[in-house]
Each structure stands twice: as C-alpha cells, then as structure tokens.
Amino acid sequence: MDSVTASTTPPTSPAHPEEDGEARAAAGSPAGDTAAPEPDADPVTLPTPPAPRRSLAARMMAIAAIWVGVLLLGGGFALERALTREVQSNFDDQLEYVLTALIASAEVDEWGDVRFYRSLGDQRFLEVNSGVYWQISGPGRDPYPSRSLWDRTLAVDGDHTDDEPHFYDSEQYPDEPLRVVERNIILPESDTQWTFTVASAREEMDFQVSRIRSILVWSFAVLGLGLLIMAALQSYYGLSPLRRVRAAIQSMRSEGANRIEEPLPLEVEPLVEEINALLAHSERQAEEARTHAGNLAHALKTPLTVLTNAATAHDPKLSDLVCRETKTMQRHVEHHLARARAVGRRATGHARAEVWPSAESVLRAVTRIYEHTRFDLDGKREAAVAIERQDLDEILGNLIENAAKYGGGSVFVTVDAEPDAEQCAIWVEDDGTGIPEAERIRIFDRGARLDTGKPGTGLGLAIVRDVAEIYAGSVELGTSEDLGGLMVTLRLPRPGV
C-alpha cells in the first residue's frame, strides 16, 4: 500500500462533506484554486462557408450519362463490327462458292487452254457489266474473262501464290468498287499455275453495312435516351425520402414538432435516427441550461434578499452579512461555472486522465490543511479514465476533503478498486460517523447539509455528481467495511469505452 501522511500547516477553512472544499484555496491545491481572470482571447474568425456544390441528383445524372455513354458506345462499336463481319463473311461465302464451282468446271483442252466442260448457272456472268465477273489467267497466257467483263480485265498480281482463297477489296474501277477472291490452281494435264478470280460489286454489301449502322445508331440513341430518362426518374424518386426529411425539418421549425416521425426507407432511417438523437441531445442541453440558470437564479435570490433587507433596515451587521452572503453567492457561481467548463471540455472529445497522479496531487494539497489526518493511497498506478484532468481533480478534491473533514483521522483512497468492471471505480473511505442510508439521496441536492455546525454551502457532492454524470459516470454512497465510516464509490468510464 502506498500511503501519504499529513504533516504540515494547520487547517484553515475545511470543506463540508457535502460541499466543495474551500480548502482548495491552499497553495498548490489542484482541486479548487480560485481561477484567475483569463486574458482576453483573440477574436474568433468564423470560417468561410464552403461554396455550394452540385446536387446529388445532378451527380447521379452525370454518372449515369457517362456510364450509359461508355456502355452504348462500346457495345455499339462491338455490335457494329460483329454484324459488319457477318455480312462480309456471307458475301465472301457466296464468292467462294462461285470460285469453287468455276474451278470444278474447268479443264485443259488439247491446246493447253482452259475451257469449261459445263456451263456456270449464274446468268449474270453473260450480262455485260452485271457486277459479277470471273477471269482465268496464267503466265504467258491471255486472260480468259467472263462475258460480263466485255472488254475489261481484272488486274491480277502474279507475284504471289494463293493456295487458299484470298479475299480483298479492289478499287480498279472507280465507279464500281469490287470484292475479289482469287486462288492459284494447277489443273490436271497442265503445268501452268492458273489464277482463278471471281469479283462482285460491293454495292449490295456496302448498302447492307450502311443500313446496319443506321439501325444501330438510331436504336442505341433511343436506348440511351430511354436510359437517361429512367435514371432521371430513378434519381427523382430515389431522392424523394431526402426531400421528405427536409420537409419534416421545415415542419419542425414552423409547426413546433420535435421529432421526425414519418416512416422512411431503411437507407434513410439511420440518418433520421441520428437527426432525432441530435434533437434529443439539443433538447437535453437546452433543458440543462434552463435548469441550471433557474438553479443559479434561485441560489442567488436568497442571499440577495437577505442583503436587500439588511440594507433597507440599516442593519449594523451589514458588513458581516455582505461578506457571508457574497461568499455564498460566489460558491454557487463557481459551482455552475465548473459544470459549464466540464460540459465544454467533454464536447471536445478524446478526454483522458491518469487517476494516480491526480489523486497524489490532491492529497499533497489536502495534507497541508489536515495535518493530523492519515491519508492512504492504493490501487493500480496505470489506471486511466475518460475525463479531463481538471475535472478529475475537482471531483477527487471534493471527495477527499469531505472525507478528511468529517472523518475521524483516516482517509483511504483506492484507485481502480474493481479492475474487471467496465468502468473505473475509485473508493474514498473515512472512519467518521458516515451518512444514514435515508439521507444518502437527499445529500446530493444543492445546498443540502447534515452538519450545519461547520462552514460551507452544501455544493460539494452536487458538483461531484454533476461533473461525473456529464462524463457518463456515477457516484454512490455506502459504508466502509474497513474503516466503518462513509465510503464514496466514484465510477468513471475508461478511455476508448
């Protein structure tokens, strides 16, 4: 057990067990030094409000338009290429069929020239400039063209050999673009490598491709427009719950409603719950502000009335009354200021304080006042709580001073007395007469005092309770099993809980 034994200056103005200790005025007391006026703070510059951004509907529409455009352009291009290749493939299959028939019908006569032992079935080969042509040519031989070519010949590149059908586009006749297939064949009983060529005008194929492209353009344009309209309707309808939330908030301002009760979709419900929680928090804060303003006014009313009556009656003890009553008013003001500071510090978040250093600091200050009291400190040195150090000092200062004031000479402080509990428990025990169980609730009221023979305002435990509750903590009174007097159990949340 670590202990601290009192051994210094005599007591001056000890605090009542149910009031905040006036002994904090002692030098070095962290729990209650009278706060010096702070220098004027620098003027606060309000941040410039951010520039308005585009609405959610506009963003959703922009994303939908970009995505629809990318998908339609990519899909349209891929579909156009696939259909164009299919049309060209069908066209090439027809040319290859004619080429195969041409090769199958050809033979070499006794003079080494090519002739057909059967006629080709397509009548267009006999019609001049019909758009369908064939030609057979070989090295050192005059080209053998179809009648449809009349006095023209097809240009053939003899510098390469095509063992398989070779398809290509030809611009030999500017007024009649051609699709050509050719193949090199050595016929039986001939050493000549003959080039069989079949050509057809591309007009029909180009027309089919152009028609496919036109259909795709119009179809995808209509599809894109339809998708954008659907996205617009979806955005309008999908965001309608937010407009209903806005209308509900407007009605709260104009009609006095205090909650959003309208049923909304599951995706919006968490937002509504947070808004309702924020409204409830604001109501609690407003109610607390009204309550404490009323309490402060009520606390100051009686001293002011006493002073007014004494001044009116020209009471000879007016100076003593002024000192006593102004001191009472000062303690009430300090109480409410302490609570206001605690609320402000809690709002900053991420509060953390080490319990052991705070308790040691308070004990060092209190031992200067209660030199004949034995103080013992025990528990976990590494214990920490989610509370600002100044507020922890305020709480411990009140509790330890109260224990010293009304104890029989021994005060025992245990840090983190319940290490497995969710909250950190701090026990402050004394060997005094304690507080009857029937009075343990009333003693937390502002101004409540059980021993009126000692100076004080009855605000000590009220401050402890109020500040602890601000940080979601609690204070309980009981009986000390070891010392037999009062045991105060202070519970405060741990950091990160």
Residue 134 has pLDDT above 70, yes or no: yes
Pick from 33-37, 144-148, 409-413, 484-488: least confident:
33-37
Partners of 479 in the beta sheet?
Answer: 486
66: in domain: yes
Give mean pLDDT, residues 203-209.
91
Q: Pick the closest to residue 268 from 241, 244, 243 (CA basis).
A: 241
Q: Are residues 6 and 114 in the same domain?
A: no
Residue 158: pLDDT band by 50, 70, 90 thresholds? Answer: low
Residues 6 or more apart whose CB falls under 8 angstroms from that of 75 comprise: 220
Give mean pLDDT, residues 450-467.
60
CATH label of the domain that carries residue 417: 3.30.565.10
pLDDT at 7: 36
Helix or strand holding residue 194 (H, E): strand 193-201
134: in domain: yes
- For 317-320, the CB contacts below 8 A with 24+ separation are none
For residues 413 and 281, which has the higher predicted lDDT (pLDDT)?
413
CA distance 270 to 273: 5
Q: Are residues 26 and 70 in the same domain?
A: no
- Counting runs of H as helices and runs of E as strands, what totals does the chain give? 8, 15
Residue 404 has pLDDT above 70, yes or no: yes
Q: Are residues 9 and 84 in the same domain?
A: no
Residue 216 has pLDDT above 50, yes or no: yes
Residue 122: pLDDT band by 50, 70, 90 thresholds? Answer: confident
CA distance 462 to 308: 28
C-alpha radius of gyration, the chain, whole number? 50
Q: Are residues 191 and 109 in the same domain?
A: yes
Residue 46 has pLDDT above 60, yes or no: no
For residues 485 and 115, which has the higher predicted lDDT (pLDDT)?
485
Are the C-beta atoms of 226 and 238 separated by less than 8 Å? no
One-letter amino acid identity for 425? A
482: in domain: yes
Q: Are residues 454 and 361 in the same domain?
A: yes
Q: Are residues 63 and 198 in the same domain?
A: yes
298: in domain: no
Q: Are residues 115 and 167 in the same domain?
A: yes
Are the C-beta atoms of 367 and 376 separated by less than 8 Å? no
204 lies in which domain range? Answer: 58-208
Task: Report pLDDT digits (tens) over 218-261.
Answer: 999 999 999 999 988 888 888 888 888 888 888 777 776 777 77
Residue 441 has pLDDT above 90, yes or no: no
271: in domain: no
Is 378 strand, coil or helix?
A: strand
Residue 448 has pLDDT above 50, yes or no: no
Among the candidates 208, 243, 261, a domain finishes at 208
Residue 489: pLDDT band by 50, 70, 90 thresholds? Answer: very high
Residue 81 has pLDDT above 90, yes or no: yes
Q: Are residues 184 and 63 in the same domain?
A: yes
Pick from 39-43, 53-57, 93-97: least confident:
39-43
Residue 464 has pLDDT above 50, yes or no: yes
Rounded to the nearest integer, the mean pLDDT of the chain is: 79
Q: Are residues 372 and 440 in the same domain?
A: yes
Q: Are residues 12 and 148 in the same domain?
A: no
For residues 358 and 259, which has the higher predicted lDDT (pLDDT)?
358
Among the candidates 167, 189, 208, a domain finishes at 208
Are the C-beta atoms of 232 and 238 separated by less than 8 Å? no
pLDDT at 82: 94
Residue 337 has pLDDT above 80, yes or no: no
Looking at the 3D structure of the chain, how many domains does it have?
2
Give mean pLDDT, residues 200-218.
92
pLDDT at 348: 47
Q: Are residues 428 and 473 in the same domain?
A: yes
Residue 17: pLDDT band by 50, 70, 90 thresholds? Answer: very low
Q: Are residues 66 and 26 in the same domain?
A: no
Residue 187: pLDDT band by 50, 70, 90 thresholds? Answer: confident
Pick from 72-81, 218-227, 283-292: least confident:
283-292
281: in domain: no
Give mean pLDDT, residues 81-89.
93
Residue 490 has pLDDT above 90, yes or no: yes
CB atoms within 10 A of CB 191: 8
Are the C-beta atoms of 399 and 490 separated by less than 8 Å? yes
pLDDT at 6: 39
pLDDT at 1: 41
333: in domain: no
Among the candidates 192, 208, 224, a domain finishes at 208
pLDDT at 444: 67
pLDDT at 33: 41
469: in domain: yes
Residue 335 has pLDDT above 70, yes or no: no
